[in-house]
């Protein structure tokens, strides 16, 4: 990354991509910098309408976006000169998009993932997918050089609240604190506070597994379970997230921070959460295959849950909540029989894995 960021390209004009582009444009205006912000979306007609009206009608009707925020459906135009490329793209589409985007990107560009998921088939986290494609497109890069071009952002990021400029904090994790700091500077607005760190693994695992837990809490809501049940699932869900994160090299402190507990509480508690909403639809009888007909946004947990279970099994980690959710999604467990499966089968000390 260059010493001074001149342009940020945000790929993906959905709710979170649009919200993050607004954050960057507002930050530039508040700090009176010359940082250019461009939001790229696939649909030329939609992007042209956004450019003309300053409104992303599909996701935020009535919300006027910053005057200096630019919109385009031309990927090369978006990436040309961009020092930071923000990836607000669904997890299962990321690799294909990167294979097109990376050859068009600047040789120094840093890629920041907003996606929260595991790639089906490979079980790779999004930072690992970015590294894989980067090293394929640019085989001359050393491992350290590749890692220095990757960062992730996660936390309690309900896009509708952020667009309404309600105070929000998140964490940016990168190979070094210097890289994270450079990214943080372009999105430190009056209503969005980025913290920094280097625990990429912990930040990603916290962000992606909490979606599965939120899907389960949504199911509990839809089934009429009360606050005791939901609090139990959230608390034991955090234990599952922590076990997996630590097994993969994450740091314990991350799990009690914004990307762990903070994101979990917001996603499990809010009706604005797409994964919580998907869980309620499942409880109402909508199949996982039909969710796209009743929701306009992607619930990453539906495809992530079985991959989380695979990854946990690979590392010998018990995750009964994620296993139960995966079984419901695969039609191996009736959602009405969910309750007995949620909190594990054996008796054990809350703070250890030793059965009693």
The pLDDT tens digits for 115-151 are: 999 999 999 999 999 999 999 999 999 999 999 999 9
Region 177-195: what's the mean pLDDT? 98
pLDDT of residue 246 exceeding 60, the answer is yes
Mean model confidence pLDDT for the chain: 94
Active site residue 58: no
Instruction: Report the pLDDT value the prediction gives residue 1, as an integer from 0 to 100.
Output: 65
What pLDDT, on the 0 to 100 scale, is given for residue 356? 32
Going by pLDDT thresholds of 50, 70 and 90, the confidence category of residue 299 is: confident
> Which helix (H) or strand (E) covers residue 11, if one does?
strand 7-11
First to last CA, the chain: 53
Give mean pLDDT, residues 197-216. Answer: 97
Tell me: pLDDT of 345 over 90: no
* Cα–Cα distance for residue pair 161/167, rounded to 1 Å: 8
pLDDT at 89: 95
At residue 329, does pLDDT exceed 70? yes
Q: What does pTM read for this prediction?
A: 0.92
Pick the closest to residue 136 from 177, 169, 174, 98 (CA basis). 98
Tokens of 271: 């009706």
Q: What is the mean pLDDT of the segment spanning 183-203?
A: 98
pLDDT number for residue 355: 37
Compute the distance between CA of residue 228 and CA of residue 213 in angstroms, rounded to an integer: 15
Average pLDDT of span 17-24:
98
pLDDT the model gives residue 354: 44
Q: For residue 264, what are the contacts with CB-CB under 8 A and spacing of at least 6?
A: 206, 210, 213, 214, 234, 237, 238, 241
Residue 90 CB: number of other CB atoms within 10 A? 17
Do 13 and 114 meet the contact criterion of CB atoms below 8 Å apart? no
The kind and range of the H/E element at 217 are helix 200-222
Q: Which of 22, 116, 210, 303 is catalytic?
A: 210
- Supply 74's token pair: 């031309």
Q: Is pLDDT at 346 greater than 70 in this prediction?
A: no
Long-range contacts made by residues 255-260, C-beta under 8 angstroms, separation at least 24? 255/202, 255/206, 257/171, 257/195, 258/154, 258/155, 258/156, 258/169, 258/170, 258/171, 258/195, 259/154, 259/155, 259/170, 259/171, 259/173, 259/202, 259/203, 259/206, 259/207, 260/202, 260/206, 260/210
Q: Enumerate helices (H) and strands (E) in the chain, giving the number of each.
A: 16, 8
Q: 345 versus 187: which is more confidently predicted?
A: 187
pLDDT value at residue 347? 58
Judge whether residue 341 has pLDDT over 60.
Answer: yes
Tokens representing 210 are 């909490």
Instruction: Give the CB-side neighbour count of residue 319, counting CA atoms within 13 A.
Output: 33
Tally Cβ neighbours within 10 Å of residue 12: 24
Around Cβ 123, how many Cβ atoms within 10 Å? 13
Q: Which of 32-41, 164-173, 206-215, 295-304 has the lowest mean pLDDT?
A: 295-304
Please give the helix or strand (H or E) that residue 173 lies within, else none. strand 168-174
Q: Structure tokens of 330?
A: 């695969």
| Mean pLDDT of the 327-336 span | 93
The structure tokens listed for 112 are 């920041």
Report whether pLDDT(67) > 90.
yes
- How many residues are given for the chain? 356
Question: If you search the block for the tokens 């912990």, which residue do you land on?
Answer: 202
Q: Which tens digits make up the pLDDT trace of 251-296?
A: 999 999 999 999 999 999 998 899 999 999 999 999 888 888 888 7
């Amino acid at each position: 990354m260059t010493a001074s960021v001149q342009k940020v390209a945000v790929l993906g004009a959905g709710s979170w991509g649009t919200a993050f582009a607004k954050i960057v444009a507002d930050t530039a205006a508040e700090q009176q910098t010359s940082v250019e912000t461009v939001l790229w979306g696939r649909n030329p007609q939609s992007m042209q309408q956004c450019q003309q009206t300053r409104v992303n009608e599909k996701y935020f009707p009535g919300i006027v976006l910053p005057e200096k925020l630019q919109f385009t459906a031309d990927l090369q135009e978006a990436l040309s000169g961009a020092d930071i490329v923000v990836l607000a793209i669904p997890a299962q589409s990321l690799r294909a998009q990167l294979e097109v985007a990376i050859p068009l990107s600047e040789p120094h560009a840093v890629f920041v993932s907003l996606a929260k998921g595991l790639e089906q088939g490979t079980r790779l986290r999004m930072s690992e997918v970015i590294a894989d494609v980067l090293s394929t497109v640019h085989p001359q890069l050393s491992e350290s050089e590749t890692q220095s071009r990757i960062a992730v952002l996660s936390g309690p990021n309900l896009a509708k609240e952020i667009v309404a400029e309600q105070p929000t904090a998140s964490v940016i994790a990168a190979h070094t604190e210097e890289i994270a700091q450079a990214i943080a500077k372009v999105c430190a607005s009056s209503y969005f506070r980025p913290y920094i760190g280097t625990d990429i693994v912990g930040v990603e695992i916290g962000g992606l597994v909490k979606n599965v837990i939120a899907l389960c809490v949504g199911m509990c809501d839809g089934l009429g379970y009360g606050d005791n049940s939901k609090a139990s699932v959230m608390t034991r869900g955090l234990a599952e997230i922590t076990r997996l994160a630590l097994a993969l090299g994450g740091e314990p402190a991350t799990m009690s921070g914004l990307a762990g507990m903070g994101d979990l509480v917001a996603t499990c508690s809010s009706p604005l959460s797409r994964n919580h909403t998907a869980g309620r639809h499942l409880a109402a009888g909508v199949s996982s295959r039909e969710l796209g007909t009743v929701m306009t946004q992607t619930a990453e947990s539906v495809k992530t849950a079985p991959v989380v279970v695979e990854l946990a099994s690979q590392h010998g980690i018990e995750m009964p909540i994620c296993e139960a959710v995966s079984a419901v999604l695969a039609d191996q467990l009736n959602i009405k029989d969910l309750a007995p499966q949620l909190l594990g089968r054996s008796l054990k000390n809350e703070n250890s894995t030793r059965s009693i």
